[in-house]
A and B are shown apart, each in its own frame.
Chain A
Amino acid sequence: MILENFDFAVITGSIPFLWKGLQVSFYLTFLALIGGIIFGTILALMRVSNFKILSFISMTYVNFLRSMPLILVIFWFFFLVPLVIGRPIGGFYSAVIAFTMFEAAYYSEIIRAGLSSVSRNQISAARATGLSYSQSMIYIILPQAFRNMVPILLTQAVILFQDTSLVYVVSLRDFMTTTVIVAQSQSRLVEMYLFAAIVYFIICFAFSFMIKKLQNKRLAS
Chain B
Amino acid sequence: MIELKNVSKWYEKFKVLDNCSIKIEKSDVMVICGPSGSGKSTLIKCINGLEPFQEGEIFVDGTKVNDSKTNLNHLRSKIGMVFQNFELYPHMNVLKNISLSQIKVLNRSKDEANEKSMKLLDRVGLKEHYSKFPAQLSGGQQQRVAIARALAMDPIAMLFDEPTSALDPEMINEVLDVMIELAQDGMTMAVVTHEMGFARKVADKILFMDEGRIEETADKSNFFNNPQSDRTRLFLSKILTH
Q: Which residues of A contact B (CB under 8 A)?
A: 119, 121-122, 124-132, 135, 139-140, 143-144, 147
For residue A144, which residues in chain B have a CB less than 8 angstroms away from its CB? 89-91
Check if B112 is an interface residue, CB within 8 A of chain A: no
Interface residues on B, range: 20 to 34
Most interface-central of A130, A132, A139, A140 (chain B CB within 10 A): A130
Q: Using A121-B85, A139-B100, A139-B104 as known contacts, say yes or no to A128 and B76 having CB atoms under 8 A apart.
A: yes
- Closest A-chain residue to B79, C-beta based? A128
Looking at the complex, which one of A122, A128, A130 makes contact with B89 (CB distance below 8 Å)? A122
Instruction: Assess the A129–B149 pair: CB atoms within 8 A.
Output: yes
For residue B79, which residues in chain A have a CB less than 8 angstroms away from its CB? 128
Check if B77 is an interface residue, CB within 8 A of chain A: yes
B50-77: CB near A (< 8 Å → 1, else 0) gives 1000000000000000000000011011
- Closest A-chain residue to B88, C-beta based? A125
Instruction: Assess the B83–A124 pair: CB atoms within 8 A.
Output: yes
Instruction: Assess the A128–B90 pair: CB atoms within 8 A.
Output: no
A27–B79 alpha-carbon span in the complex (Å): 50
Looking at the complex, which one of A119, A122, A131, A140 makes contact with B73 (CB distance below 8 Å)? A131
Check if B153 is an interface residue, CB within 8 A of chain A: yes
- Closest A-chain residue to B74, C-beta based? A130
Number of A-B residue pairs at CB separation under 8 A: 64
A122–B79 alpha-carbon span in the complex (Å): 17
Instruction: Assess the B77–A129 pair: CB atoms within 8 A.
Output: yes
Looking at the complex, which one of B85, B90, B150 makes contact with A129 (CB distance below 8 Å)? B150
Check if B87 is an interface residue, CB within 8 A of chain A: yes
For residue A124, which residues in chain B have a CB less than 8 angstroms away from its CB? 45, 50, 83, 87
For residue A130, which residues in chain B have a CB less than 8 angstroms away from its CB? 73-74, 76-78, 101, 105-106, 153
Instruction: Assess the B91–A135 pair: CB atoms within 8 A.
Output: no
B89-118: CB near A (< 8 Å → 1, else 0) gives 111000000001100111000000000000
A to B CB contacts below 8 Å, 10 in the list:
A121-B87, A122-B89, A124-B45, A124-B87, A125-B87, A128-B79, A129-B105, A129-B149, A131-B73, A143-B91
Give 5 nearest A-B pairs by CB, closest first: A130-B77, A125-B87, A129-B101, A128-B81, A130-B105
Check if B48 is an interface residue, CB within 8 A of chain A: yes
Instruction: Assess the B76–A125 pair: CB atoms within 8 A.
Output: no
Looking at the complex, which one of B50, B85, B88 makes contact with A127 (CB distance below 8 Å)? B50
A125–B78 alpha-carbon span in the complex (Å): 14
For residue A121, which residues in chain B have a CB less than 8 angstroms away from its CB? 83, 85, 87
A132–B90 alpha-carbon span in the complex (Å): 19
For residue A127, which residues in chain B have a CB less than 8 angstroms away from its CB? 50, 73, 76
Instruction: Assess the A129–B87 pair: CB atoms within 8 A.
Output: no
For residue B153, which residues in chain A have a CB less than 8 angstroms away from its CB? 129-130
